[in-house]
Structure 1
Amino acid sequence: MKPHVYADRRARVCAALRAAGGGVAVLPTAPERTRNADNEHPYRHDSAFYYLTGFSEPGAWLVLDASGKSLLLCRPKNEEREIWDGYRLGPEAAPAALGIDAALPCDALDTVLPQRLADQGAVWFPFGGYEGLAAQVEGWLAAVRQRSRTGIGAPTQQRDLSPLLDELRLFKDTHELDLMRRAGVIGAAAHARAMRVCRPGLCEYELEAELLHEFRKSGAIGPAYGSIVAAGRNACVLHYAAGNTELKAGELCLIDAGCEFGSYASDITRTFPVDGRFTSPQRALYELVLAAQDAAIAATRPGARKQDGHWAATRVLAQGMLALGLLSRDTHGTVDDVLASAAYRRFYMHGTGPWLGLDVHDAGEYLAQDEAPVDQADGFGGRVLRKPSRVLRPGMVVTVEPGLYVRPAPDVPERYWNLGLRIEDDALITPEGCELLSRGVPVKPDEIEALMRG
């Protein structure tokens, strides 16, 4: 725990509030969720709340104002509940432990918020994703308005806190990057472990267990998202969950899995032959996807647009689709025709990579908000007037994940049927280009085969 890291972030938020005219910001953490009966899902704090506090207990609130003051409301110490549920920090210890200016029990929320909002011009809170929060804010504002005859004014503006926080979270500081590098190392080691133990006759869930073992033994909280372990034709289902399908010789296995370390995610995908050797059709498609990823990585650099990597990968994939016969030149024309018509989406239907950080699809605007809309391809064979994608800057982290998914069809060569491939790595934008955080696991087909033989 480094309190100064979170204090610096809160200071930046307060400075942004001042620049925007002042006010008070209110942010809750995530609620606990019931799984069934009296059991809860494993608790995971709200990412934005954690970004500003480093505090992972449920039931907490953060209040900031433009003057720079911070208030945490959290669960009080309770010996009986701590016997059952674990130790609590408590409001008495919170200021020193977290670098917060003041802390109160969370049951003081409805008393203290009307006081904090008095004579403020605006109240800031996240507009989406927090059930019931808008109604709570209205209740606090109503309590302030009841005091209007005493000369106290209520905020006249309600402003969305999320865009402000999202922009800060988009650029990772050194503390975050240390955690993300470690998450990349652990995630890559888990993929390498799965490759080493893979053999025909195992089931998907057995490889998932190997991933989980590597995550936990290396200090990760666990998976950053539901792990995809897809054997054979299951790899053509983009969000397939690891099941009980048996791994068979001659088929591919696609694993999309990353860990959460220090609350930060890695997100890695590898596709490999179950029996340790690519067939000729498998290798042809794999080398095409790898070439597409190489093109996207080359385009992932400061000054480039966020979408440049996607279009670089898509062009390579479109060329390969024509060369390998997945698409017909007689029917679909040239590479430019394939891109213009979006015929490539039959085999490549997703983007090449979201932001990465506290969330596996992390916070941050994808479009350049300060630029005028331009006419551009919509990715579905049409045109749209849209703001261009934003310019990449050092400190941003993206994933780079092209793929191909070939389902059986009469006009598709049978040798490619039921082959689903994706290659994904995590890329930090640096002043020189990008740093891949997840290359601790092989990506070249010969290196994959060598690891599996070993």
Structure 2
Amino acid sequence: MFAKRRDALMQKMGARSLGVWFASPVRLRSRDTDHVYRASSDLLYLANCPEPEAVLILRPDADEERSILFVRPRDKEREIWMGRRLGPERAKEHYGVDAAYAIDELDTKITSYLLGCEKIYHQLGDSEANDRRVIEWKEGVKRQRRVGKVTPDHILDSRALTDEMRLFKDSAEMEHMRHAAKLTAEAHEMAMAMTRPGTYEYQIEAMMHYHFRKNGCLDFAYTPIVGGGANATILHYTENQDALKDGDLVLIDVGAEYQFYAADITRTYPVSGKFTDTQRRVYEIVLAALQAGIDACQPGNRFDDVHQAAVAVLTQGLVDLGVLEGDVQTLIEEEAYKPYYMHKTGHWLGLDVHDVGGYFEEDGSSRILQPGMVLTVEPGLYFNPDFHDVPEARPFADIGIRIEDDILITEDGHENLTAAAPKSVADVEAVANTKTLF
């Protein structure tokens, strides 16, 4: 699978080229403690290599050693303290590459790899240090031109190729994403069941993390959002420290990462187990907008069609609530809804929660949806009086509702990967009223 991806990429790179992909850096948390390491998504996609300090080289023209991985060498003393390393001796077979060497050999070997190449593919702008290193390689080999050798003239951004490849998920990726979605849907249902007045936001986060780790996920796919009451009106609220109050809603935007693939689900539900009439009115508008957006997820439709479908329902809903007044189409054109819905309706999903891939065609039009793409659909309404205080919106003050599903585009429509997470009013209230721990 990974070899096929590398072969497909080298076909796109073309003759007289070389590609280089660096591992993500280890990031300091505090003093001598590092953050939990998360590998480069491109390196995972091309070689399934999660190791720090690794570098992948691809050489389309080579007769041998077309794919080469440079990794940390074995070091008994370091391994006692920090964990086992494969080393180059085992990395070749483990990662399925043509050759593997110690990382300290890279600067020596790169010169011979660059001879005969006209262009280098590299993740430009991802790391200033890596950019400088690639430029130094390019400039350092130039002296070989004096003896008639061809050396690179251009450094190109490799993401122009890999982003488009990653946008279309293969069958293995789909299965990983289905599993991440399944575990995430289960965790959201468990959160609904355990919530009651007095529950702390961090307790819900902890329960969901437990469920993910128990079932083989190393971590969340992104920083969890668990916001009760007015906290739900903050789009990326991540403090998760407050106690939930009777009569409030709680918004949970949490996803698992399984085999490095993300799920991304948002659900909003009443802490008490039952929506108030006002909460229900707003919730049903957002739910209808979600369904309109999902219905627009069809091959041949455009990415922006999903957003426009949701915006139409939300704007009509704001008129029905008495928050906005006027012709719905005019209000949409004037973006009158934006004080209450200020973000887009979705994004690509995959190895990154906000995954790679262009949102526009070459002519500037919105991207045409095609089978294999995975996107989120996540409309919401947020009534934050600190941000926008008008008399018409005051009856809904501090209500924040977002509902989000993950959608795979198929040949004949779509597959909702996260449909199992309860979202109808009846289903949400039924689960939220069970009041079990988990």
Could you tell me which of 334, 339, 357 is aligned with 1:346? 339
The answer as to whether partners of 2:16 and 2:116 remain within 8 angstroms in 1 is no
Do the aligned partners of 1:220 and 1:261 also contact (CA within 8 Å) in 2? yes
Q: Determine the C-alpha separation between the residues in 2 that align with 1:430 and 1:210.
A: 33
2:383 aligned partner, one-letter code: V
Q: Deviations over 1:381-408 (max 9, x none)?
A: xxxxxx1111000000000000000123
Aligned match of 1:215 in 212, 215, 231?
212
In structure 2, the gaps of 5 or more residues are none
What residue is the counterpart of 2:378 in the other structure? 401
Q: 2:379 aligned with 1:427, yes or no?
A: no
| 1:27 positional shift | 0.7
TM-fit CA distance, 1:151: 2.4
The CA deviation at 1:146 is 2.3
Amino acid aligned to 1:344:
Y
Aligned residue in 1 for 2:68: 71
Percent of aligned positions that are identical: 43
**What is the rounded CA distance, in whole Å, between the counterparts of 2:138 and 2:393 in structure 1?**
65
Aligned residue in 2 for 1:45:
39
CA deviations 1:219-269 (Å, max 9, x no partner) are 111111000000001111000014321101111000000010000000000
Instruction: Name the CA distance, whole Å, in 1 between partners of 2:126 and 2:195.
Output: 40
After superposition, where does 1:26-45 map in structure 2 within 5 Å? Answer: 26-45=20-39
Post-superposition offset of 1:413: 4.3
* Deviation per residue, 1:38-66 (Å, 9 max, x gap): 11110000001110000111000000012
Contact 1:170 1:363 in 2 (8 A): yes
Give, as a single letter, the amino acid of the residue that structure 1 aligns with 2:234: V
Once residues 275 and 242 of structure 1 are traced to their aligned partners in structure 2, the CA distance between those partners, rounded to angstroms, is 22
Query: SS of the counterpart of 2:286?
Result: helix
Which residue number corresponds to residue 382 of structure 1? none
Match of 1:266 among 240, 258, 263: 263
- Cα deviation 1:354-389 (Å, max 9, x = unaligned): 0000000001000002x2xxxxxxxxxxxxxxx111
| 1:31 CA drift (Å) | 0.9
State the one-letter code of the partner of 2:420: G
**What are the Cα deviations for residues 278-312 of structure 1, in whole angstroms up to 9, with x where unaligned?**
00000000000000000000001100001101000
CA positional deviation for 1:148: 2.6
C-alpha separation in 2, matches of 1:71 and 1:244: 47
Spell out, residue by residue over 1:290-335, the C-alpha distance to the aligned partner (whole angstroms, 9 max, x if none).
00000000001100001101000000000000011111x2xxx200
In structure 1, C-alpha distance between the alignment counterparts of 2:256 and 2:98, rounded to whole Å: 33
Q: 1:144·1:153 contact (CA, 8 Å) conserved in 2?
A: no
Equivalent residue, structure 1, for 2:395: 415
Note the 1:14-413 alignment, pairs <5 A: 14-18=10-14, 21-67=15-61, 69-327=66-324, 329=325, 333-369=326-362, 371=363, 387-408=364-385, 409-413=389-393
Structure-2 residue corresponding to 1:378? none
Q: Which sections of structure 1, spanning at least 5 residues, go unmatched?
A: 372-386
Task: Describe the superposition over 1:165-189 as per-residue Cα deviations: whole angstroms up to 9, x where unpaired.
Answer: 0000000001101100000001111
What is the aligned counterpart of 1:436 among 405, 416, 422?
416
- Which residue number in structure 2 is paired with residue 6 of structure 1? 2
What amino acid maps onto 1:324 in structure 2? L
Name the SS for the 2:128 alignment partner.
coil
Counterparts of 1:56 and 1:199, CA distance in 2: 40
CA contact (8 A) 2:270 2:432 kept: no
Give the match's secondary structure for 2:333: helix
The CA RMSD measured in Å over matched residues stands at: 1.1
Alignment-mate amino acid for residue 9 of structure 1: R
In the aligned structure 1, how far is the partner of 2:170 from the partner of 2:429?
37
CA distance in 2, matches of 1:174, 1:57: 25
Contact (CA 8 Å) 1:30, 1:44: kept in 2 or not?
yes
SS at match of 1:398: strand
Q: Give me the whole-angstrom Cα distance separating, in 2, the residues matched to 1:77 and 1:89.
A: 7
Counterpart amino acid of residue 317 in structure 2: G
CA–CA separation in structure 1 for the residues paired with 2:182 and 2:118:
47
Q: 1:132-177: per-residue Cα shift (whole Å, max 9, x none)?
A: 1221112112221122333223211211111100000000001101
Partner of 1:381: none
The residue type paired with residue 448 of structure 1 is V
Residue type of the partner of 1:347? Y
Q: Distance in 2 between matches of 1:147 and 1:299?
A: 56
Q: Any conservation in 2 of the 1:190–1:211 contact (CA below 8 Å)?
A: yes
The answer (yes or no) to whether the contact 2:261–2:350 under 8 Å persists in 1 is yes
CA distance in 2 between partners of 1:125 and 1:55 (Å): 17
Secondary structure of 2:367's aligned partner: coil
1:438 counterpart SS class: coil
Distance 1:156 1:207 in 2: 54
* Higher mean displacement: 129-138 or 142-151: 142-151
